[in-house]
Every structure is written in C-alpha cells, then in structure tokens.
Amino acid sequence: MHDPNDPLSRAAVAACFDLARARIDDPDPPLGRTADAAALESALAGAICRRGLGVDAAMALVRDVVVTNAVALDGPRFVALIPAAPSLAAKAFDAVVGAHSFSPESWLESAGAVAAENQTLRVLADAAGMPEGAGGCFVSGGSAGNLAALAVARDTRGGVGSVVLVSETAHASIDRAAHLLGLTIRTVPADDRGRLVGAALDDGFGDDDGPAVCAVVASAGATNTGAIDDLVGIAERCAAHGAWMHVDAAYGGGALFAPSVRERFAGIERADSLVIDPHKWLFGTLDCGALLYKDPALALPTFRQRASYLDLLQAEGAWNPSDYAFHLTRRARGLPLWFSMVVHGLDAYADAVERVLELARNAAETVRAADHLDLLVEPELSVVVFERRGWTDDDYAGWARRLLADEIAFVVPTRWNGRVVARAVFLHPDTPDTLFDTIVESMR
C-alpha cells in the first residue's frame, strides 16, 4: 500500500488524478442527483472486502455511486442554500494538501503551513479592519467557528448559564453552540429587513438581577436574506455592557473584499471574534472557515490541551493553531485559499465578488420586472428572496424538484414572514445571468 512501484497503487494514483483533473477542468459539472438510501446501500454492498476489488471496480463505484449521487455544490447552477465556488487553483492545491499530510496543529510540526495560513488570516483581518494582533485559526466552517468563539466569550465574559443575545435571523448553529456550552439564548427581534439593530438590544440586556449577558451575536450576511446587522450599534451596546461581540460573517465575509458594499460592514472591526467561511464566498475549498479573535490569547485557557507529550510543541511563544479552537490534529484547510490568493492576487477576488453582487442585483431587477413575481427583500448581498403570486407550499416544492431533475438549477424554497417563498443565492462568478431568466420563466 505504500510502495510507489506497486502496480495497484500506481494505477490507483493515476485513476484518481485523472478523475480529479477532469472535474477541475469541467466549467459546468452535471448538477447530479440524490438517491434513496436502500439503492445506495445495495450498490455499495460488498465494496470493502478481505482482498480488495482492485482499481477498476473501485473507480466504477466512485463514478457510478459516489460522484453521480451528489448535487454539484460548486457548479454555476447551484443557487440554493449557501453554495461554494472554489477557484481551480484552490481545488488543485487541495490535492497537494492531501498529498503532504501537513500537520499544522503546531508550529513545530508544520511551521511553513502555519505561517502561510496566518498570512491568509491576516488578509481577512485586514479586510475587516481588525487590529494588529488579531489572529486565530482555520476550522471546518461557520458552525465550528461560532461554537469556538462563544466558548471563549463564555469563559472570558460570563460562565455556564449566562445569556447570549441573538437575532431571530441568526444562523441555526448559534442555538446549537449555546446548547453545547450551557448558555442561554435570548432572542431579540429583527427589523423588517431582517436586521438586528443596536437599539433592539437595550431590552435584551435586562436588569442587573438576571443572569449576565456574556455575548451578542451579530450577523454580517444572514443566511436567509443576506442582511447585515447594525454592527456599529451592536458594538456600542457591547462596549457599554461589557459583552463579547461575535460577528458571524460565515457567508457574508467574502463581500468585505467588494468596494461597492464594504461600508455596509462598518463596525465589524470592533468584533471580539469573527467568523468568515472562505469555502463559501472566497472561492476556497471545503471545508474552510476562518476564526479570528481580536485578542487570541484569550482563547488559550479554553482550548489549550495539556499533556506531557505536548510540552515540546508548546514551548514559550510558539503559535499553535490547536490553541484557538477545539482540535489537535487538523488539516491545513487554509492553504488552498492562501495558494489561490497568492496566484491570483486580491484584485481578482474583488472582481469575482463584485460580479456575484451584480448577478444578485440583476436577478432582483428581473423579479421586479416580472408580472408573476414579487421581490420580498431588497438584496443586501447575493441572496434574492421572492415569491410567485398565488403559489402554495407544494407548488414551490414541486418546482424545486423539477428544476433539479431537469438539470436546470438547484434552488430550494425558504420561509419569510411565515410563508414559503423562493430564494436564490449567487456565489459563483460564472453563473450566467440567463440562468435566473430561465428560473423565472419556469415559475409561470
């Protein structure tokens, strides 16, 4: 299994590189499909056996079962949920990361990878305007980042049982993080555009007799609508009450690189912690979430693992990513982003993000012009929420299934003000404007 001259291993390596290359080179991969569990169980039956099936049989399973039964998240026709759109350079470098098995949990083991990841984190911190000294690590995504940030908030500003103020539009992972951390969620109403405004927090802080508020979670790009909360107002309240300000920019953070909307993020620089998912709108590969703390030293008491076999790794002053979230061994998941940024430069990132914003603006215009549709929320970033006059919940579900089955687009409904409605999310700069025209026509 480890001999590079072994014919079986050589054939496996060649087949995998061919497959990866073909996918990387495909500008518009098939949308793919899902299958029922029983069909896949039977297709995979006996695949792992005593003597191995060999490369041809294994690759047939990869092609016919694994690859086919997946909806292509990274393709230009995936406009549901929150898509991904990794650059080709990032995808290719992801294979390099796998081949090297870097171990950037510690400086001692993978100093080069840690330094490159830290350079990337600094670029993100600069985009947000965070102070010198801000830092953190790459985690698997927004959920992991939100959990880690709230753990530090709890340990520095409160304790088990203390309160986290969140808007009703915050991502679902915040509620689960609070549950895991023994924190109490107190929900604060959002305004009619789905934004949490600073003044709405005043009641939420409550009086001095109740449990202390340890943190406020603000969204900079709420998942459902792309709304950006009133970050300045929230920062002011957090400062006044000594609460930790966590900004969840897992989806929206990519737009920090777009000059046309940058001012909407005013106040983000005051965050105590910030999450941006490069695997969403910064064209990184899955799974890659950036977690930044204004003062990373605060995370050590929460996360540093202590053991005699780690002593050497934790020599005075060593920067170890394992100190900044819950993990020890970790993949160098920030490196594909770093490589892609080095190759293309930040101007290319700004252009690509701006193109995505333009797609959303054009889509909103198309909705406004259509006599069968209503635009429900003016898109702040790249999410367009709209409805088809007269449709029932079942109409939306049937329409979404048809578009996927016909390989036109992957788009799923959501709910807005209690009603099932349509939602399109753009993240791929090469999505053609005509895709949304087709989607709109399919709703007649």
Ligand X SMILES: Cc1ncc(COP(=O)(O)O)c(C=O)c1O
Burial 31-63 (b: 16+ CB within 10 A, else e): bbeeeeeeeeeeeeeeeeeeeeeebeebbeeee
Interface with ligand X in residues 345-404 (CB under 6 A): none
* Contact pick of 94, 230, 248, 272 for ligand X (by CB under 6 A): 248
Three-state secondary-structure class, residue 284: coil
Give the type of residue at 333. Answer: R
120 is an interface residue for ligand X by CB under 6 A: no
Nearer to ligand X, 201 or 218 (CB): 218
**Cβ of residue 172: shortest distance to ligand X, in angstroms?**
8
**Cβ of residue 251: shortest distance to ligand X, in angstroms?**
4
**Cβ of residue 56: shortest distance to ligand X, in angstroms?**
35
414 is an interface residue for ligand X by CB under 6 A: no
Nearer to ligand X, 228 or 440 (CB): 228
Whole-angstrom Cα Rg for the chain: 23
For tokens 């390099």, what's the residue?
96
For residue 130, what are its two tokens? 């965070």
Site mask for ligand X (CB under 6 A), range 265-304, x = bound:
------------x-----------x---------------
Distances from the Cα of 26 to the Cα of 87, 88, 163, 359, 406, angstroms:
12, 10, 48, 21, 19
CA distance 249 to 247: 6
Helix residue ranges, H only, 165-308: 172-181, 201-204, 231-241, 278-281, 300-303
Nearer to ligand X, 290 or 298 (CB): 290
251 is an interface residue for ligand X by CB under 6 A: yes
Site mask for ligand X (CB under 6 A), range 215-234, x = bound:
----x-x-x-----------
141 is an interface residue for ligand X by CB under 6 A: yes
Distances from the Cα of 44 to the Cα of 13, 73, 249, 281, angstroms:
21, 23, 39, 34
Q: Is the dihedral of CA 209, 186, 196, 179 positive or negative?
A: positive
Per the document, the length of the chain is 444
- 273-276/244-249 β-pairing: parallel
143 is an interface residue for ligand X by CB under 6 A: yes
Return the residue nearest ligand X (CB atom).
141
**Cβ of residue 206: shortest distance to ligand X, in angstroms?**
26
**Cβ of residue 73: shortest distance to ligand X, in angstroms?**
11
Give the type of residue at 187. Answer: T
Nearer to ligand X, 175 or 395 (CB): 175
Nearer to ligand X, 55 or 216 (CB): 216
Site mask for ligand X (CB under 6 A), range 79-108, x = bound:
---x--------------------------
148 closest CA partner among 291, 334, 306: 291
Nearer to ligand X, 141 or 267 (CB): 141
Nearer to ligand X, 288 or 370 (CB): 288
* φ, ψ (nearest 5 deg) of residue 414: -135, -170
Nearer to ligand X, 287 or 437 (CB): 287
* Contact pick of 154, 157, 171, 331 for ligand X (by CB under 6 A): 171
**Cβ of residue 390: shortest distance to ligand X, in angstroms?**
30
For residue 74, what are its two tokens? 């990274």
Which helix (H) or strand (E) segment holds residue 384: the answer is strand 383-388
Contacts with ligand X, residue ranges (CB under 6 A): 82, 141-143, 171, 173, 219, 221, 223, 248, 250-251, 277, 289
